[in-house]
Structure 1
Amino acid sequence: MSLELHDISKSFKDDKVLDGVSLSVPEGKTLVLFGPSGAGKTVLLRLIAGVIEPDTGHVEIAGRNVDGVEPEDRNIGMAFQNFALFPHMDAHANIASPLTAQKQGKSAIEAGVQSLARLLKIEHVLGHKPKELSNGQKQRTALARALAGKPKVLLLDDPLRNVDAKLRFEMRLELPRLLSDQNATVVYVTQDYKEAMAFGDEIAVINGGVIQQIGTPEQIYLSPANVEIARLFGDPVINFLDVTPQEDRDGVFAMISDKRVNLDAGHKHAVGQDCVLGIRPESVLFVAEDHIRAVPVTVEAETPLNEKTVNLCLTARGREIMASRPSGTPGPATGPAFVTIDASHAVLFDKKSGALIPQDESAALPKGEVA
């Protein structure tokens, strides 16, 4: 079933938590609701579930306005941060409760419980009551219960928050497959950008009760709507350098360490404007001094991070820039060095507002080609 939110607003006393939020989730798709703590994510889930009602706007499920419809009549599965497990039931009974309500047979109930318990690695605590479970086990039990009934709409509020790193990594692989198999329409809340990128068909970035950007993971990462969103996605964080783009007969460019760095022709309309240039660390590549586009830097520090190595560099004017490369590939640990900047995915933001300056697609080079 599709899910539509139309101009949703909600206040608690003088605190406006949601301000004109509109979203659309097609049937069988997963929308990740991403944002910092206090952004309004959980309140929005509770509005969809019918636990609370909006001040303005309305929710539609499968084209039907569900204002005033009780939560149990919305065909929604929910797993919230406070777990909300039945305290008198053990984990097995909690997970089985949606299946029992559907009057499924004992063998089908048992098969459903065991399958989810294996996936979420809680087989060993199925006989335990909630008070005997750790927070991570409670969270996985609540997630299993939400999944068990195969609801048409599924609301997941940071369901892997208390899960250890190894299982979290495994769930990033397994859970999207399970959700796809169930063909549920999913709203998945997280503060972890890697989860957002892994789970979402689309990502909605919310902050201060306002949706700042909606797009595919690739769109959010490569064309963030503002400096704040750009900073939230990526590890290490994106590089920001104040620049004023220039143009000559060879095209559009910016100056870094007193060296020319060519920009995509689609940035021509930003020439002469005070901008912030956003460059992902993986686009900063170490090269030999005689490279045609070599930019001098000083490497201040090197940090190995398992699958990658990160270097903190300083430009000739003392501006910091991070470079990231796959572990095992050559690069200087400290001292003078030279880099080239792959500008094919560089982004420009207005220095004053922080908003993205979109490229002029009619003037841009083919994707991936560097000016």
Structure 2
Amino acid sequence: MKEISVIGGGSWATALVKILAENKIRVYWYLRRQMQVEAITRERRNPDYINFAKLDTDFIEASTDLDYILSKCQHLLFVVPSAHLPTVCQQIDPQKMEDKIIISSIKGTVGLDNLLPSAYLAKIFSLLEVNQGIIAGPCHAEEIAAGRKTYMTVCATNQVLRTALSEAFASNYIQICESEDLLGVEYAAIYKNVVGLVCGMAKGMNYGDNFIAVLVSNAIYELEILLTALGIDSPRIGSSSYLGDLLVTSYSEHSRNRTFGVLIGQGYNVEQTKDTMSMVAEGYTATKGLHDMATERGLNLPILNTAYRILYNYMPVKTEFKLLERSMI
């Protein structure tokens, strides 16, 4: 792979662009704001997200012209919040996507049907699975920006695509783990954001490490129940793309979902928390999407249920955690 178009201008998109440009992959980068494009071109930094990361703009062309960016490459990487994906896709002519290979790195369900991002993209653009890939964790944009050792998961059923993505993203500080488990890795990436929220709530209410350790161990059990109910056979729960991603989101101070939860635990309501944070916490919308799916299947997932009742039924966080304590094993 010599070039790729990237759609999305947040912290995670910026981190991925940084890696690609360092590896001398030509990046055509779609951003919504002209100010952002000009600042990146002039200062070699994204002024809005992880602005301490220096970008090699010799290999980056940024633009607010979505059609132009899409026309430049066969490989497209979507890195937008799940709630914004439909708006972006509505601007794209499906006929222009017929020969494209689409990679997504989006960690939330999409629309009222609670579709996986990959499933939504496949539906909108009539994609075959062989032309899709996923970039997943466990990794935080801030540590990639700082050049810290990171393990990244590349998923695709197409071996040629897996190899191309692995070569594009591997570096002296990025270790690539390859997988064919598109569904499992994508659902795990969504669920772990919910767990990050709940761990943040616990932290915000001054629960200690002892309780949070039990909370995370129960979350691993819940994830296994969810994946089994969704028909995903024998997932490697202990692998970095499952357990590793869940752990880093639950414990890291870089986790925006954990930060969102901390504020809720400290007494902020949802709207106040959204106003306080400058970045999207995917776990908020993921909570509703996964809760709807679990309810349809008759699943009892106490951690997920707790998050839903606090965020969407506006139940008192302290009361809900007292109930949650009783369900922990």
**Structure (1 or 2) with the greater strand fraction:** 1
Tell me which protein shows more helix as a share of its residues.
2
With normalisation by structure 1, the TM-score equals: 0.30
Instruction: Give the structure-2-normalised TM-score.
Output: 0.33
Q: Which has the larger radius of gyration?
A: 1
